[in-house]
Amino acid sequence: MSVRLTPDDEGRLAGSQGPADEMAMRIIVRLAEAVGAERLLDITGAHIDSCLYHGQAVLDFADHLAERGARVRVPTTLNVSSLDLLHPELYRGDPEDGRQARRLMERYEEMGCRPTWTCAPYQLEERPAFGEQIAWAESNAVVFANSVLGARTSQYGDFIDICAAITGRAPASGLHLDENRRATVMFRLAGVSAELLDSDVLYPVLGNLIGSKTGTGVPVVEGLPAGLGEDRLKALGAAAASAGSVGLFHAVGSTPEAPTLEAALGGMQPLRTVEVAPSDLRLAREGLNTAEGGDLATVSLGTPHYSVTEFAGLVALMAGRRVHADVDFYVSTGRDVLAELELRGWAGALTAAGVTIVTDTCTYITSILTDTVGPAMTDSAKWAYYAPGTLGVGVVFGSTGDCVESAVAGRVVLNEEIWS
């Protein structure tokens, strides 16, 4: 299928804006052809995942663009990198990989990207509004933008993201279009206790279940409390995007395109309905565990990056307490959030209690953990999903409260009553 191009698109393809722009436009057009898009659309912003160092090829690509004068046309933020530039002493990886990773970060800054270094760009002061067309990469950011903000982005990957930012254009396809945003798979909660529904720990577990059962569809969840906060929706979406390929979900009464179940379904019947009982949630929770209880080596929170509100809860849980001497306790977050923590005095209080704050990256991506032999605990379904494969570490999933109690005790402590 041929893609309808504007005169400006045609000019860019012909090299009117230089070789970097020509290359980026050529890639965007080829993508549009591959996904069957009839046209391109303007985007108002981008979020780049290509700044994460995975080897020489990613640096070569960035070098090729930057050396040919590439500049982004729209406001563009940067995802986590492979280094914590504010706390370089935390890096335990190969020094040469570290140098290459830093060079990659510099190349994207040279192209005009904003050095935000966060997987949660939706926590920045400026974020896209409802209905805005954007090109975001990073799975949890994509699902949050689509689901919670009501902005519109397909699931862009490395190289495509920066090409969209350089051209300001993206294929009119996928979740950019109305017809692809209605729910097709319904999840109906039944018999779940009010206590569990009002607990943060439910939402990553439910997201893990939804991701594993949705496939390529768009899920809608019925039976959750209305008006859910952003952190719970963030946890649900991040888990669903990790365990599956979910780029958009609807929560009836909480997300902007789901004021009612009928609205989320677009007036149609779901292709499939999944009944979710407490036993299903317990199984989903157990599926996040790859280690047994006992002595604890590590706690890692903040995947996706912790918000100010989440830190407020952590500060309250840690008040007057200290992490056990045998446990390393990490929390990953963005620079903007860290600045707010410092203003409130929370960063110093947490550090004094034995908590290490990590910025610019994430502990399942970068070699930061001092102990990958002993079990690690997390409140993140995404971290629990990826860390065994990327780090070789065994994981125990629990609530934030469980993680704190365990960190202080030096052994795994879980509240099983809430799941009974």
Position 1 pLDDT exceeds 60:
no
Contact criterion met (CB below 8 Å) for 232 and 203: yes
- Is 308 part of a structural domain of the chain? yes
- Which of residues 286, 310, 334 is at a domain's end? 286
Q: Same domain, yes or no, for 165 and 253? A: no
HEC profile for 21-55?
HHHHHHHHHHHHHHHCCCEEEECCCEEECCCCCCC
- Is 341 part of a structural domain of the chain? yes
Q: Same domain, yes or no, for 148 and 48? A: yes
Q: What is the dihedral of CA 368, 370, 374, 378, to 10 degrees?
A: -40
**Prediction pTM value:** 0.97
Residue with tokens 């402590």: 413
- Which of residues 254, 286, 318 is at a domain's end? 286
- Is 53 part of a structural domain of the chain? yes
Which 3 state secondary structure label does DSSP give 273?
A: strand
Grade residue 215 by pLDDT with cuts at 50, 70 and 90: confident
- What element of type H or E holds 378? strand 376-378
Q: Give pLDDT tens digits for 24-33.
A: 999 999 999 9
Listing DSSP states for 162-192 in one string gives HHHHHHTEEES-GGGSGGGSS--EEEEE-S-
Q: Same domain, yes or no, for 72 and 195? A: no
- At residue 3, the pLDDT reads 95
- Is 293 part of a structural domain of the chain? no
Looking up residue 67, the CATH number of its domain turns out to be: 3.30.499.10
Q: Same domain, yes or no, for 135 and 262? A: no
Nearest one of 412, 390, 420, 203 to 310, comparing CA atoms: 203
Q: Give pLDDT tens digits for 99-155.
A: 999 999 999 999 999 999 999 999 999 999 999 999 999 999 999 999 999 999 999
Q: Give pLDDT tens digits for 63-103.
A: 999 999 999 999 999 999 999 999 999 999 999 999 999 99
Tokens of 298: 């590590």
Count up the domains in the chain and report the number: 3
- Which of residues 237, 256, 286 is at a domain's end? 286
Q: What is the mean pLDDT of the chain?
A: 97
Query: Distance (Å, rounded) from C-alpha 418 to C-alpha 197?
Result: 10
Q: Same domain, yes or no, for 30 and 146? A: yes
Tokens of 182: 């209605």
- Is 149 part of a structural domain of the chain? yes
Query: Distance (Å, rounded) from C-alpha 117 to C-alpha 83?
Result: 9
- Is 1 part of a structural domain of the chain? no
